Amino acid sequence: MASSQVLSGQQPQDAQQAHGRLAERPSFWRRTRRRMNTQLVLGLGLLALILIATIFAPLIAQHGPNTITETGSLAPPQAGHPFGTDSISRDVFSRVLYGGRVSLTVAIPSVALALLLGMLLGVPAGYLGGKVDQVIMRVLDVFFAFPGVLLALVIVTILGPNIRNLILTIGILYAPRMARIVRAPTLSTKSLDFVEAARSIGAHDLRIVLRHVIPNVSSPVIVDVSLALGQVILTETALSFLGMGPPPPAASWGSMLSQSRQFMEFASWTVMAPGIAIVITVSCFLLIGHGLRRMLDPRQQRKV
């Protein structure tokens, strides 16, 4: 069709039309904005707030996270102490802001580590298949038999509770589920036509994986990374709550909550502030995850 038009000399006009059509096509940002949904917008908005609050914590907070103020202990919320003070008269608002730093410095590297390990296990399992797949997946099955919190508690206790060990432990514990998430789309991509085509022109396996498989795996992965960030924060705060988080005086939300529980009858702000901070942060990542899933999967848009 196109070639006959070229032969009959209609090419310039046709090209112009094609150019016109291209110009009508909405820009990348406009297309993205059209596909955005409430969940995603809400989640990204919260994320922006959380990032500003944690990155600029020293500028926003009027007190240091460990500074003992002169206001007195367990003072209710007031000017200068929006969330009151804790049992040794530290400013709860500053501690909540700095607590966000602790949670994010654990969560982001752990999820990155889990993703890296998950890719290293899941891509070969899906791409090579056969025995490799069987062995890798059976080994991962073992990990799914353990409650994450229990295994993390045991390992962090044995290695010693600090931020580095928390990241290593949580990262390794989340790797199996990342591997599962990565494996399925790898498996379905490897038999697609364009991968076959790449193989037929003699592309090396590594090149096929890097150029063709991994880009196709990215949508389910990006959804799960977001959901995992929320869940990792829940795990980290649970460990901190049980006393196996970053050692004191680090302001972590879980340990703030557990240390304030004995005073909650008359100073409820000391438990409510870190608790609500956890809920907002986790909700933010879950919203982004659900929103992205809806945006990337057209089937989901019609559903729920």
Partner 1 sequence: MLQVVLRRLIMLVPVMLGVSILTFGAMHLIPGDMAVAMVGIEGAQDPEVLANIRAKYGLDQPVPVQYLKWLGAAVQGDFGESLRLNVPVAGEILRRLPLTAELALLSVIFGLVVGGLLGTLAAVKGGFWDIFVRSYILLGVAVPSFFLGTILILYGSRYFDFIPTLQYVSFREDPKTHMLVMIYPVISLGTSLAAVIAENTWSAVNDTMNLEHVRVARAKGLAERRVVTGHILRNALIPITTITGLQMAFLLGGTIIIETIFALPGLGRLAFSAINLRDYPLMQGIVLVIALMVVLANLLADLAYALFDPRIRVS
Q: Give the end-to-end CA distance of the chain in Å, rounded to a whole number.
A: 43
Interior angle at CA 230, CA 224 and CA 234, nearest 5? 135
Closest distance between partner 1 and the C-beta of residue 141, in Å?
6
Q: Does 273 bind partner 1 (CB under 8 A)?
A: no
Confirm or reject binding of residue 262 to partner 1 (CB under 8 A).
Answer: no
The only residue of 25, 34, 131, 303 in contact with partner 1, by rule CB under 8 A = 303
Nearest to partner 1 of 64, 220 (CB atom):
220
In terms of CB distance, is 63 or 293 closer to partner 1?
A: 293
99 lies in the binding site for partner 1 (CB under 8 A): no
Among 143, 172, 205, 214, contact with partner 1 (rule: CB under 8 A)? 143
Q: Which is nearer to partner 1, 213 or 273 (CB)?
A: 273
What number of other Cβ atoms are within 10 A of residue 154's Cβ? 13
The long-range contacts involving 271-280, CB below 8 angstroms and separated by at least 24 positions, are 273/83, 273/84, 273/92, 273/93, 273/96, 274/92, 274/95, 274/96, 274/99, 277/96, 277/99, 277/100, 277/253, 278/103, 278/233, 278/234, 278/237, 278/253, 278/254, 280/46, 280/50
Q: What ranges in the chain are assigned the alpha helix state H? A: 2-7, 11-24, 28-35, 38-55, 57-60, 92-128, 130-143, 148-159, 163-189, 193-200, 205-208, 214-241, 253-260, 269-296, 298-302
Binding flags for partner 1, 237-256, as an x/- string (CB under 8 A): xx--xxxx---------x--
Nearest distance from C-beta of residue 104 to partner 1, angstroms: 16
Tell me if 41 contacts partner 1 by CB under 8 A.
Answer: no
Residue from 47, 108, 155, 187 touching partner 1 (CB under 8 A): that is 155
Site for partner 1 contains 49 (CB under 8 A):
no
Name which position in 69, 94, 103, 258 contacts partner 1 (CB under 8 A). Answer: 258
Please identify which residue in 40, 166, 271, 288 interacts with partner 1, judged by CB under 8 A: 271
Residues of span 196-235 touching partner 1 by CB under 8 A: 230, 234
CB-side exposure of 74: number of CA atoms within 13 Å?
A: 12
Q: Which two tokens stand for residue 136?
A: 């890798």
Q: Which two tokens stand for residue 6?
A: 């070229």
Q: Residue 60 or 154: which CB sits closer to partner 1? A: 154
Q: Which stretch binds partner 1 (CB under 8 A): 2-10, 57-65, 152-160, 178-186?
A: 152-160
Non-local CB neighbours of 251 within 8 Å, separated by 6+ positions: 65, 66, 94, 95, 96, 98, 99, 102
Site residues (CB under 8 A) for partner 1?
138-139, 141-151, 153-155, 157-159, 230, 234, 237-238, 241-244, 254, 257-258, 261, 264-265, 268, 271, 275, 278-279, 282-283, 286-287, 290, 303-304
